[in-house]
């Protein structure tokens, strides 16, 4: 892990046995193991936190890139209207005035005839209604 060979570990163990003695060596080894475990856990927690932040940054970067791409597509649509077919709008058809109508009168000159609109039979009372069957009760209008 740190480039320490077995012979170096054996030398550290012999020095620790001579300095601490056989009675205190097991307690010291246990304490050293606890400290090493705590360091490993804290190192792994820091590593996981950094990886989460890197992942979150990557997700933020991808979302930002997608947002920029959508803005570019909208700009292309706005700047290049020829790429899209134009939307056909209904044209209003004006009917000519009835034959014999006097267009020289002032009211027609001030208020020109509006464009003709189609009306459905439901809008005009009495238009295109089926004949009433005398055997049936009368319908409400």
In this prediction, residue 114 has a pLDDT band, given cuts at 50, 70 and 90, of low
In this prediction, residue 53 has a pLDDT band, given cuts at 50, 70 and 90, of confident
Q: Cα(60)–Cα(54) distance, rounded to whole angstroms?
A: 10
Q: Cα(53)–Cα(76) distance, rounded to whole angstroms?
A: 34
Give pLDDT, residue 40: 96
| pLDDT exceeds 70 at position 123 | no
| pLDDT exceeds 90 at position 121 | no
**SS3 sequence, the chain?**
CCCCCHHHHHHHHHHHHHHHHHHHHHHHHHHHHHHHHHHHHHHHHHHHHHHHHHHHHHHHHHHHHHHHHHHHHHHHHHHCHHHCCCCCCCCCCCCCCCCCCCCCCHHHHHCCCCCCCCCCCCCCCCCCCCCCCCCCCCCCC
| pLDDT exceeds 70 at position 132 | no
Give pLDDT, residue 35: 96
Give the whole-number percent of the chain exceeding pLDDT 70: 58
pTM over 0.85: no
Q: Cα(113)–Cα(94) distance, rounded to whole angstroms?
A: 9
- Is the dihedral angle over the CA atoms 74, 80, 85, 90 positive or is it negative? positive
74-106 pLDDT, tens digit each: 888 888 866 555 555 666 656 666 665 555 555
| pLDDT exceeds 70 at position 58 | yes
Looking at the chain, how many residues does it have?
A: 141
Residue owning tokens 């570019």: 72
| pLDDT exceeds 80 at position 43 | yes
């Amino acid at each position: 892990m740190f480039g320490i060979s077995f012979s170096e570990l054996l030398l550290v163990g012999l020095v620790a046995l001579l300095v601490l003695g056989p009675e205190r060596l097991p307690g010291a080894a246990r304490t050293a193991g606890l400290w090493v475990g705590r360091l490993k856990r804290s190192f792994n927690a820091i590593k996981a936190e950094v990886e989460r932040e890197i992942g979150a940054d990557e997700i933020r970067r991808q979302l930002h890139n997608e947002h920029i791409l959508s803005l570019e597509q909208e700009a292309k649509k706005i700047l290049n209207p020829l790429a899209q077919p134009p939307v056909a709008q209904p044209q209003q058809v004006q009917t000519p005035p009835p034959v014999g109508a006097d267009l020289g009168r002032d009211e027609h000159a001030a208020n020109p005839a509006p464009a003709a609109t189609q009306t459905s039979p439901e809008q005009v009372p009495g238009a295109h209604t089926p004949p009433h069957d005398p055997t049936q009760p009368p319908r409400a209008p």
